[in-house]
Amino acid sequence: MKYRSIKGTKDILPGEIEVWQHIEGLVRQVMRSHNYHEIRTPIFESTALFARSIGELTDIVTKEMYTFRDRSDESVTLKPEGTASVLRAYIQNNLGEHASLSKLYYIGPMFRQERPQAGRLRQFHQFGAEAIGSQAPALDAEMMIIALDTYRSLGITETALKVNSVGCQRCRPHYKELLIDHLAIIASQLSAESQSRIQNNPLRVLDCKDEQDQRLLQNVPLIKDYLCQECADHFTHVLTTLDETQIEHTVDGKLVRGLDYYTKTAFEITSSALGSQDALAGGGRYDLLIEELGGKPTPGVGFAAGMERLIMVLTKQKPITFSAPLPTLYIVSADEQARHWTFQKAIELRRRGIAVEVDYLDRSVKAQMREANRLNCEFVLVIGERELTSGSGTIKNMISSAEASVSLSQLETFFA
């Protein structure tokens, strides 16, 4: 029996992980410069949290969650997204009492049982941010800017930002009725999937991928034209901020997103370098969600970006050549006594922060030299009876071939 990883999951191997670490480092830098603080929430939560926040009738909740009963018969779910968990933590830990605006970010795995394909996995990774406690339209723009700045600092510029407003509980119900009336007229010509959504989740009909449906939807009323004054003003403010900061964007009246918690702003960033799964990031405002989850009425806005998709775009642009960090020094042992000394010395040097490798496979001196070469070590030191008796050895620089005599008891000074 050969065990294989679960469909839609991936190992990230040495040689690849350096790219991840580089991106994660950059994300942390961008987040820090915007004053966001990292939060780590558990990988699983009670199922009800996601059903309540993402929406009972969304694809994520009805079809894609990894849900199971634990041994106490509690229904738990591997988190399909980060926002619900962050808000649960915000409420549970009274973060709102410590600061009137909480700026939080996260990097981590999420789980959705979707049909795996390029850029769509069952365990994938997101980095994201949530700003909780302010209605300022500037923060909506800030979310888009954080994502775009991260892409830009990685050299990814071929991105498109689409923005919309999905209204609020005041203007959306009226628009929904209007939309359902309009959809009823063309219902019989729409795809079965869109037809099934008309009653349950009519807004999702707007962003369906079916080309025939999209042709039929050309004259559909759009929510951005039916916003209440407050939502309309907010939307105008967000767009003006983007204009003023020279962030290219288009208003896409059919952008509705697959999660139900949004109010007012919704946005998506796509890349032409991706295939059918072209969304690099998505986000928006959720001013009602914290109250919905049992907290005090508190506005919030956030975004999340897919790591795998970002790496796909990067790799398409140019081959990424990050190599695994290399040991600085290889200490070759000529015999058993030397082997003992070498191991002890390696421990000592490593504690001082010097990257050292030694032999664990009983290899000959020649084979150890070959290994040091394969590992691209900068320096090699051979230890045998002569070196141990005299207390000194010769360190060879593997790049320049220069040699230097060193005292074995003060080896660390060579690397100081």
Residues near ligand HAM, by CB under 6 A = 81-83, 112, 114, 119-121, 124, 126, 128, 130, 258-259, 279-284, 302-306, 308-309
Name the residue nearer to ligand HAM (CB basis): 114 or 412: 114
CA distance 219 to 414: 75
Name the residue nearer to ligand HAM (CB basis): 128 or 137: 128
Please state the closest distance from residue 205 (CB atom) to ligand HAM, in A: 18
Name the residue nearer to ligand HAM (CB basis): 55 or 202: 55
Q: Give me the residue label for tokens 């949530």.
A: 130
Please state the closest distance from residue 98 (CB atom) to ligand HAM, in A: 21
Please state the closest distance from residue 81 (CB atom) to ligand HAM, in A: 3
**Which H, E and C letters describe 179-238, residue by residue?**
HHHHHHHHHHHCCHHHHHHHHHCHHHHCCCCCHHHHHHCCCCCCHHHCCCHHHHHHHHHH
Name the residue nearer to ligand HAM (CB basis): 168 or 349: 168
Please state the closest distance from residue 3 (CB atom) to ligand HAM, in A: 23
Q: In sequence order, what are the residues at sequence separation of 6 or more whose Cβ sits closer than 8 angstroms to the Cβ of residue 322?
A: 18, 19, 22
Q: What are phi and psi of 269, to 5 degrees?
A: -115, 125
Q: Give me the residue label for tokens 């506005």.
A: 299
Name the residue nearer to ligand HAM (CB basis): 22 or 120: 120
Please state the closest distance from residue 144 (CB atom) to ligand HAM, in A: 12
Name the residue nearer to ligand HAM (CB basis): 121 or 242: 121
Q: Which residue has the closest beta carbon to ligand HAM?
A: 306
CA distances from 408 to 352, 357, 376 (A): 15, 16, 23
* 3-class SS shares of the chain: helix, strand, coil, % to 5: 40, 20, 40
Please state the closest distance from residue 258 (CB atom) to ligand HAM, in A: 6
CA distances from 181 to 187, 367, 383 (A): 10, 78, 85
Please state the closest distance from residue 155 (CB atom) to ligand HAM, in A: 18
CA distance 129 to 106: 6
CA distance 269 to 398: 47
Name the residue nearer to ligand HAM (CB basis): 224 or 285: 285
Nearest to 397 by CA among 386, 406, 409: 406
Give 9's strand partners.
Answer: none
Please state the closest distance from residue 269 (CB atom) to ligand HAM, in A: 8
Name the residue nearer to ligand HAM (CB basis): 268 or 357: 268
Nearest to 225 by CA among 282, 182, 280: 182
Nearest to 251 by CA among 144, 156, 340, 352: 144
Give 124's strand partners.
Answer: 110
DSSP SS3 for 103: strand
